[in-house]
């Protein structure tokens, strides 16, 4: 099975496909896009720092081998063509010939090999390139990734902010693990992407300007991108409304999203976050106390009314989540779920051996790691009271305090939000893999262990045929939904907001703003 994608064939389809809607008007060049970051990025080098705050500037400063359209189809970017061998054990990237770094040096296969090495050594998502053993560089524009096993997740891992190509002659001057603290991660950045860094002022802004020698003809359209750092969501909302900000992404406060939806000049959309894949759930510790019994976990699911959370707490801004995979992912298989049923819940608790004594069946604790989800947690407490479960809400002083509790399994229930990060291998497996139990926050903190689930993940991880992979993940999702190490509640209602008559081609593909905005323009 040889798959060769020719960029020429795709070039025409690309413009319409990537944006997800056809362009009625010609993009204009020039202008300064004023956009926003909700937190201060600690690092602009996306090869060593993950996270959506670094992703936005990172994907502008650094190009990746591939990019994705809104239908989850890989498109050429720094690699004009690519090829997966029949046995799935080698992936050949044919790089664009005229590509240059921001200092004018040509981008070669050496840089690709170096970048993979840096990402393997510093990036937190080990699963992305773990099977990559070596990167061969037969010539300056060919890089061959040699794998220890087939690794279909590699394609998504070569897009968005996940595989930033960084120059070896700049970042290769010390130990490979030192790159994460390299002084040029935040200033004098030499990147490969459509925009170069003008200024990063901590707490104030990141300013980028057009890289004139960018390898894609005529791109980017914008002359300048100003990313202001505004941490207060209410202040950001006012800035969208009065026109100070042209565009922003990852806005998730239901109250603010709904208010901005009513503003005529703004477009507010939840499209474009499929690969980020943020899901909120109720985590249940399967290794401690009453929750070791799956019937108790089910009873809790039946007692917690997701509909209430969707309507009252999320105010209709979030979509339902029924499995560990984001609903926008091609691997998503919708599960039946647990509609509110207090009688069933009580019956399950009786059956599990927790009868009502003095008005209470059991006492559990619930944790949360950030103040934004306090309402959900308080609701769970109130909801479980109806089936005579006493819940103590344990607030954590800050994130590390909560992270420690989760990482050491010191909890009964906790509200949590975890991102898919593209392929399930990268962001989904970590929650259910029995070899990843209690390895820090956002690992398998629920201590869930099921041999079949492990086996399904192992098989899906190396399965090249998309249809077979989908089937494996369907079975996986069904088991998870049945055994409930976590009760999936809703997707995080991330929204992209932009001035309708100013911004053309906003980034609403699959990666949110963790994608190059070389096709975004000002009307």
Give me the residues that bind other proteins (CB under 8 A), please: 32, 34, 39-40, 42-43, 49-54, 122, 124-126, 177, 181, 183, 185-186, 201-205, 207, 226, 228-232, 234-236, 238-239, 241-242, 244, 397-401, 403-405, 418-419, 421, 427, 430, 436, 439-443
| CB nearer to other proteins: pick between 301 and 418 | 418
Q: How far is the CB of 187 from other proteins (least distance, A)?
A: 9
Q: How far is the CB of 304 from other proteins (least distance, A)?
A: 25
Whole-angstrom distance, CA of residue 176 vs CA of residue 168: 10
Q: How far is the CB of 439 from other proteins (least distance, A)?
A: 5
Q: Cis ω on the peptide bond leading into residue 220 (within 30° of 0)?
A: yes
Whole-angstrom distance, CA of residue 484 vs CA of residue 472: 18
Is the distance from CB of 411 to CB of 264 less than 8 angstroms?
no
Count of helices and strands (H, E) across the chain: 16, 21
| CB nearer to other proteins: pick between 88 and 191 | 191
Q: Which stretch of DSSP H or E encloses residue 476? A: helix 466-483
Q: Are strands 362-368 and 413-419 parallel, antiparallel or unpaired?
A: parallel
Rounded to 5 degrees, what are φ and ψ at 169? -70, -10
Q: How far is the CB of 40 from other proteins (least distance, A)?
A: 6
Q: How far is the CB of 427 from other proteins (least distance, A)?
A: 8
| Token pair listed for 486 | 């976590």
User: SS3 string of 308-376?
Assistant: HHHHHHCCCCCCECCCCCCCCCCCCCCCCCCCCCHHHHHHHHHHCCCCCECCECEEEEEEECCHHHHHH
| CB nearer to other proteins: pick between 285 and 420 | 420
| Token pair listed for 270 | 């939840």
Is the distance from CB of 490 to CB of 320 less than 8 angstroms?
yes
| CB nearer to other proteins: pick between 54 and 515 | 54
Whole-angstrom distance, CA of residue 134 vs CA of residue 358: 64
| CB nearer to other proteins: pick between 99 and 222 | 222
Q: Which residues contact 10 (CB under 8 A, 6 or more apart)?
A: 75, 76
| CB nearer to other proteins: pick between 53 and 59 | 53
Q: How far is the CB of 199 from other proteins (least distance, A)?
A: 8
Rounded to 5 degrees, what are φ and ψ at 327? -55, -25
CA 106 centroid distance within chain: 30
Q: Which residue has the tokens 């080098």?
A: 45
Q: How far is the CB of 334 from other proteins (least distance, A)?
A: 25
Q: How far is the CB of 483 from other proteins (least distance, A)?
A: 22
Q: How far is the CB of 265 from other proteins (least distance, A)?
A: 12
Query: Is residue 329 exposed (0-12), middle (13-18) or buried (19+ Cβ within 10 Å)?
Result: buried
| CB nearer to other proteins: pick between 74 and 427 | 427
| CB nearer to other proteins: pick between 207 and 333 | 207
Q: Which residue has the tokens 């903190």?
A: 445
| CB nearer to other proteins: pick between 333 and 486 | 486
Q: How far is the CB of 252 from other proteins (least distance, A)?
A: 15
Question: Which DSSP state fits 313?
Answer: I
| CB nearer to other proteins: pick between 19 and 122 | 122
Biggest CA pair distance of the chain:
77
Whole-angstrom distance, CA of residue 470 vs CA of residue 479: 14
């Amino acid at each position: 099975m040889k798959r060769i994608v020719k960029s020429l064939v795709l070039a025409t389809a690309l413009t319409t496909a990537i944006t997800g809607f056809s362009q009625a008007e010609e993009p204009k060049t020039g202008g300064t896009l004023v956009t926003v970051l909700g937190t201060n990025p600690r690092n602009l080098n996306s090869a060593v720092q993950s996270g959506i705050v670094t992703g936005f500037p990172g994907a502008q400063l650094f190009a990746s081998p591939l990019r994705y359209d809104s239908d989850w189809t890989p498109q050429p970017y720094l690699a004009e063509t690519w090829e997966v061998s029949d046995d799935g054990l080698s992936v050949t990237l044919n790089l664009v010939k005229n590509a240059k770094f921001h200092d004018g040096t040509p981008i070669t296969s050496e840089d690709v090999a170096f970048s993979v090495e840096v990402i393997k050594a510093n990036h937190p998502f080990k699963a992305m390139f773990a099977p990559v053993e070596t990167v061969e560089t037969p010539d300056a524009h060919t890089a061959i990734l040699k794998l220890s096993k087939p690794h279909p997740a590699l394609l998504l891992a070569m897009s968005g902010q996940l595989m930033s190509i960084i120059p070896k002659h700049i970042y290769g001057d010390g130990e490979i693990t030192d790159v994460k603290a390299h002084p040029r991660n935040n200033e004098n950045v030499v990147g490969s992407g459509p925009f170069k860094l003008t200024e990063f002022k901590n707490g104030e802004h990141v300013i980028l300007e057009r890289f004139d020698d960018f390898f894609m003809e005529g791109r980017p359209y914008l002359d300048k991108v100003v990313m202001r750092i505004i941490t207060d969501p209410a202040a950001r909302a006012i800035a969208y409304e009065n026109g100070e900000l042209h565009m922003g992404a990852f806005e998730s406060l239901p109250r603010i999203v709904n208010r901005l939806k009513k503003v005529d000049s703004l477009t507010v959309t939840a499209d474009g976050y499929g690969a980020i894949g943020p899901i909120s759930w109720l985590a249940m510790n399967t290794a401690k106390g009453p929750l070791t019994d799956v019937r108790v976990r089910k009873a809790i699911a039946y007692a917690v009314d997701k509909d209430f959370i969707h309507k009252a707490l999320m105010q209709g801004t979030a979509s339902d989540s029924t499995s560990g995979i984001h609903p926008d992912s091609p691997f998503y298989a919708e599960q039946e779920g647990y509609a509110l049923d207090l009688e069933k819940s009580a019956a399950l608790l009786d059956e599990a051996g927790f009868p009502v004594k003095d008005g209470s069946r059991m006492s559990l604790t619930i944790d949360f790691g950030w103040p934004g989800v306090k309402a959900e947690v308080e609701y769970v407490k109130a909801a479980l009271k109806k089936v005579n479960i006493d819940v103590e809400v344990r607030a954590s002083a800050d994130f590390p305090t909560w992270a420690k509790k989760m990482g050491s399994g010191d909890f009964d229930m906790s509200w949590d939000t975890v991102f898919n990060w593209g392929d399930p291998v990268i962001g989904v497996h970590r929650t259910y893999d029995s070899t990843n139990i209690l390895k820090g926050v956002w690992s398998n903190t629920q201590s869930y262990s099921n041999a079949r689930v492990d086996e399904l993940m192992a098989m899906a991880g190396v399965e090249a045929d998309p249809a077979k992979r989908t089937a494996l993940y369907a079975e996986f999702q069904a088991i998870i939904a049945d055994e409930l190490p976590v009760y999936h509640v809703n997707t995080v209602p991330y929204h992209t907001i932009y001035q309708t008559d100013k911004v053309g081609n906003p980034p609403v593909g699959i990666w949110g703003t963790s994608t190059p905005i070389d096709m975004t323009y000002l009307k």
